[in-house]
Amino acid sequence: MTSMPDIDSGPKVMGDDGQFHATDEEVDLSGTPIEAWVALLFFWTLGLTVFYQFFTRYVLNDSAAWTEEIARYLLIATVFTGAAIGVAKNNHIQVDFFYRFMPRVVARIMGLLVDVMRIAFFAAATLLTWQMMDKLGSYKMTIIDLPMNIVYAVVMAGFAAMALRAVWVMRIHLQRGYTVLERPGSEMNER
């Protein structure tokens, strides 16, 4: 027969007075990267735009046509600035299964190769976005009379931030002597 766990063995949240007592930990935003603040700004602007679209469509019964296009571009901006956070935390999708079976030297070389290829990819994407912006020239958005290059400039800035963060991640990998692929349980903050 399985014994039931003691209900009082966990953390105490009810005081002797029968009231619920809980305290939150202090919030520390000092380690928040600049990309996160930019992504948050785009996200809240997107949220306000979608709310305005909802309000004009369902409350005023006169939908603002520009909101759908701008919301799409703000979503793109949120994704590309937010992706730089993923690069900084080194938590993009990766396959580390085979690293468990590779010899240590081969795993090290492969991990560094992944770092170099990631930097090269983001740098190439930055350059290609620049070239596309050059080819677009004065192409305008569909509804709003603004240059489409505004959207692509944010995408290019996102790729550039990802490239810089990838260099930063590689530097950390070189300093500590292993990559996250070699030791999947490690965190980026460990040095």
**Model's pTM, two decimal places?**
0.79
Q: Got the DSSP string for the chain?
A: -PPPPPTTSS---B-TTS-B---PPPP--TT--HHHHHHHHHHHHHHHHHHHHHIIIIISS---THHHHHHHHHHHHHHHHHHHHHHHHT-S----TGGGTS-HHHHHHHHHHHHHHHHHHHHHHHHHHHHHHHHHTTPBPSSS-SBTHHHHHHHHHHHHHHHHHHHHHHHHHHHHT--TTTSTT--TT--
Each residue's pLDDT tens digit, 113-133 = 999 999 999 999 999 999 999
**pLDDT at residue 103 tops 70:** yes
**pLDDT at residue 181 tops 80:** no
